[in-house]
């Protein structure tokens, strides 16, 4: 239950939601293998889209993770939406990352001035307190929805099997949560 003096806590994933991790991976990969054709990524099975197959995981984890993570671009409008809506919601970053990726996450969060006082790097996002989750991974959404809370999918090619709520932008997510929680539009700052 939310007290009237508290802002509702919303959980926001990074990769595939705010940060274009796949785009950054393709950029770094093409620097190393400029002649390789990378297919459009439509599932989480990266080996299906990169010519080096299973070696893509070693490419990411062992050699290039900092460049991929730190230099990834945010999706257009995502950071601006977070910054605008922080007046209405307590924004909690929840991201599932291996331990050796965490430092690059914190650098990226600071570099892009993500408005959060709380970051959880965990694989069970449903354990984190919040009224809603915005994520691009169906397993996370299903676990969160099973707790009776609002699970919203960021529409991406790799999550088309999700049958619940779906949005195309971070801004659209906040508007949906505002509507669902019946938050007055007077509290919402105007877009810049």
Q: Give the C-alpha separation, 179 to 192, whole Å.
A: 21
Q: Mean pLDDT, the chain, as a whole number?
A: 92
Rounded to two decimals, what is the model's pTM?
0.91
The yes-or-no verdict on residue 3 having pLDDT over 50 is no
Q: Which domain holds residue 168?
A: 9-20+73-187
Please report which confidence band the pLDDT of residue 2 belongs to, taking 50, 70 and 90 as the band edges: very low
Convert the pLDDT of each residue in 19-33 to its tens digit: 999 999 999 999 999
Which of 70, 90, 109 lies at the terminal end of a domain, its last residue? 70
The residue with tokens 């991974």 is 137
Each residue's pLDDT tens digit, 122-159: 999 999 999 999 999 999 999 999 999 999 999 999 99
Specify whether 88 is located in the same domain as 45.
Answer: no
Q: What Rg value do the Cα atoms of the chain yield, rounded?
A: 17
Contact status, residue 174 vs residue 52, Cβ threshold 8 Å: no
Has residue 47 been placed in a domain? yes
Domain assignment present for 3: no
Per-residue pLDDT tens for 88-114?
999 999 999 888 888 999 999 999 999
pLDDT band at 4 (very low <50, low <70, confident <90, very high): very low
Same domain for 165 and 116? yes
| 13 and 40 co-located in one domain | no
- Note whether 57 and 136 are same-domain residues: no
């Amino acid at each position: 239950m939310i007290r009237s003096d508290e802002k509702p806590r919303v959980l926001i994933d990074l990769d595939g939601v705010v940060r274009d991790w796949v785009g950054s991976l393709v950029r770094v990969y093409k620097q190393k293998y400029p002649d390789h054709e990378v297919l459009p990524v439509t599932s989480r099975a990266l080996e299906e889209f990169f010519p080096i197959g299973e070696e893509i995981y070693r490419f990411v984890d062992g050699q290039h993770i900092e460049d991929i993570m730190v230099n990834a671009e945010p999706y257009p409008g995502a950071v601006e939406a977070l910054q605008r809506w922080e007046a209405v919601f307590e924004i909690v970053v929840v991201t599932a990352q291996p331990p050796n990726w965490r430092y690059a996450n914190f650098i990226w969060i600071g570099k892009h001035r993500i408005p959060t006082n709380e970051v959880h790097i965990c694989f069970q996002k449903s354990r984190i307190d919040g009224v809603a989750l915005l994520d691009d991974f169906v397993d996370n959404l299903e676990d969160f929805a099973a707790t009776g809370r609002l699970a919203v999918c960021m529409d991406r090619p790799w999550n088309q099997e999700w049958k619940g709520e779906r949005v195309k932008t971070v801004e659209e997510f906040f508007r949906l949560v505002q509507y669902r929680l019946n938050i007055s539009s007077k509290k919402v700052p105007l877009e810049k």
